[in-house]
Amino acid sequence: MPRFTRIRRPWRNWDITALRRNLGVYVHIPFCPAICSYCDFLKFGPRRPKGLDEASYEATLMSEIKARGAWLTQLLAGSGRRVDSIFIGGGTPTMLPARDLARLADALLQSFPTAGGPVEFSCEANPDTLDREKISTMHDSGITRLSVGIQSSNDRLLKFMGRTHRWRETLPVLEQIAMGPISNYSFDLIYGLPNQSSANVANAARDLLAFRPPHISAYWIVAEPHTAYLRWTRQFPRQIPSDQRVLRQQHDVECFLRGYGHYRYEINSYALPGWECHHNIRYWQGGDYIGLGIGAASRIGKTVVNNAKSHVVWHSSIDGIGGPRDALLEAALLVDPQAAAPPADAFLRMRNRLGPERSGMAIKPGWITDGLMDIHEGRLEVSSRGLNLSEQYALEMDS
């Protein structure tokens, strides 16, 4: 861990040119040991559709990695563009055995054009699916960053969320993570839960920071459609905390993290300067990325293409990669593959601290005077308080 150094406007050090010139790759692993009450991602617990299991999914995914990697390598040949961020998410990728994760990591690094510089290679994990051997194997296979879903240090809240770990059980794992060899790691924290006090949130932040993570992701829990948590909120609406109370928890978390040198660089993320997740910044800044796996999204230019959510349809689509019915090929034909990706729209770019160029943007004076954003060297910069309202004024900019 580096020493805490205060840096003025650390987001000015982001290499936005590289984030839009190069590309990211996202890989979706949809399996979980159990379904959390709040999760609306495409995932499967112990009960799965007929014919969907880890072995068959990995086999299809390996085929997609090799085919899509060959296609992208040919598309970018001679352009100077390359893949410089990879993110394996889910689901719970670390449900897979260490050897399977290593095979996937090796295939990704070998199949996609990654040569020419470092690659930020992230993998999501649950603490009860990690051990020393798996962490070491992941490091040896090229994974450079762990994103670990802790969510809370309070067992009552962990049980309410449907998490499969308990706080005391995670402590040896967190100690192992802090010891390395993967030095770039992030912990997730959730606030805004029913019957969650500000003291609960502060204690969880304090407990996590004892392991000196360079990055923290803190999320305001939302009742998403088709989740158990939404059904619970409809049954017990009076137990849902007010927005004012949750904003107070968010403010307390930010103040606490700031004392450890972490700054809020996007809506849900805090990092020591230089330890931001560049793969996620690429999303907000409009960079191109390729999605692999069931339901995964890709963006080429301004076009977003989604893989099928049916594993049967997704499996049958692999042979068509690079062919006339390949939606990504159609998207690529609309842009110059030699050129950097265009900027994202205001809705995305206002979700992180480094906003768009000021020129041509409709800015209301109150946004500046109220401290929601600033203008520095001709570019908008969103304040931490402004991030809470970014969706509102991004829509007003586009209207």
Tell me what pLDDT residue 366 has: 78
Q: Is residue 334 part of a domain?
A: no
Tell me what pLDDT residue 351 has: 87
Residues 6+ apart with CB under 8 A from 362: 396, 397
* Percentage of residues in the chain having pLDDT higher than 70: 95
Query: Both 265 and 365 in a single domain?
Result: no
Query: Both 256 and 352 in a single domain?
Result: no
Query: Both 353 and 232 in a single domain?
Result: no
Name the domain count of the chain.
2
Tell me what pLDDT residue 143 has: 98
Q: Is residue 329 part of a domain?
A: no
Tell me what pLDDT residue 58 has: 97
Residue 100 confidence (pLDDT) above 80:
yes
Query: Both 382 and 256 in a single domain?
Result: no
CA neighbours within 13 Å on the CB side: how many for 368?
Answer: 10
Query: Both 255 and 373 in a single domain?
Result: no
Residue-wise pLDDT for 243-271, tens only, equals: 999 999 999 999 999 999 999 999 999 99
Tell me what pLDDT residue 2 has: 44
The mean pLDDT of the chain is 92
Query: Both 222 and 353 in a single domain?
Result: no
Query: Both 35 and 136 in a single domain?
Result: yes
Q: Is residue 113 part of a domain?
A: yes
Q: Is residue 111 part of a domain?
A: yes
Residue 280 confidence (pLDDT) above 50:
yes
Query: Both 167 and 279 in a single domain?
Result: yes
Q: Is residue 320 part of a domain?
A: no
Residue of 204 and 347 predicted with greater confidence: 204
CATH code for position 111: 3.80.30.20
Residue 395 confidence (pLDDT) above 70:
no
Q: Is residue 339 part of a domain?
A: no
Give the chain's length: 399
Query: Nearest to residue 71, comparing CAs of 311, 278, 327?
Result: 327
Query: Both 260 and 359 in a single domain?
Result: no
Residue of 386 and 234 predicted with greater confidence: 234
Residue-wise pLDDT for 151-188, tens only, equals: 999 999 999 999 999 999 999 999 999 999 999 999 99
pTM of the model: 0.94
> Per-residue confidence at 96, pLDDT binned at 50, 70, 90?
very high
Q: Are 65 and 59 in contact (CB under 8 A)?
A: no
Q: Is residue 171 part of a domain?
A: yes
> Per-residue confidence at 393, pLDDT binned at 50, 70, 90?
low
Query: Both 66 and 194 in a single domain?
Result: yes
Q: Is residue 237 part of a domain?
A: yes
Tell me what pLDDT residue 368 has: 84
Range of the domain at 190: 10-284
Query: Both 148 and 250 in a single domain?
Result: yes
> Where does a domain end: 284, 301, 332?
284
> Where does a domain end: 234, 255, 284?
284
